[in-house]
Amino acid sequence: MSSKLHQLALEYHQGDRPGKIIVSSHKPLATREDLSLAYTPGVAAPVCEIVQDANKVYDFTIKRNLVAVISDGSAVLGLGNVGPLASKPVMEGKAVLFKYFADIDVFDIEIDTQDVDEFVQTVKNIAPTFGGINLEDISAPRCFEIEKRLIEALDIPVFHDDQHGTAIIIAAGLLNSLEIQGKHIETAKFVCLGAGSAGIATLNLLCELGLSKDNILLVDREGVISQDMENVSQIKAQYSVKTDKKTLADAMQGADVFIGVAAANLVSKQMIKSMANRPIVFALSNPNPEISPSDVNSVRDDLIMATGRSDYPNQVNNVLGFPFIFRGALDAKASEINSKMKIAAVHALKDLAKLEVPSSVLKAYSAESMVFSKSYIIPKPFDPRLIDVVPKAVFDAAVSSGVSRL
239 is catalytic: no
Strand partners, 135: 70, 160
Give the neighbor-by-neighbor strand order of the sheet with 280-283.
Answer: 223-224, 216-220, 190-193, 257-260, 280-283, 304-307
Q: Yes or no: say if 199 and 261 are a contact pair by the CB < 8 Å rule.
A: yes
Q: Which of 20, 27, 39, 376 is catalytic?
A: 39
Sign of CA dihedral 297, 300, 302, 308: negative
Closest CA to 240 of 251, 254, 229, 249: 229
Using CB atoms within 10 Å of the CB of residue 75, give its burial: 0 to 12 exposed, 13 to 18 middle, 19+ buried: buried
Q: Yes or no: say if 109 and 103 are a contact pair by the CB < 8 Å rule.
A: no
Computed over its alpha carbons, how large is the radius of gyration of the chain?
22
Q: Yes or no: say if 337 and 319 are a contact pair by the CB < 8 Å rule.
A: no
Q: Which of 12, 20, 94, 239 is catalytic?
A: 94
94 is catalytic: yes
**Cα 170 to Cα 33, 162, 203, 246, distances in angstroms:** 52, 12, 10, 25
The 10 Å CB-count burial string (b at 16+, else e) for 315-339 is: bbbbbbbbbbbbbbbbbbbbbbbbe
Catalytic residues: 39, 94
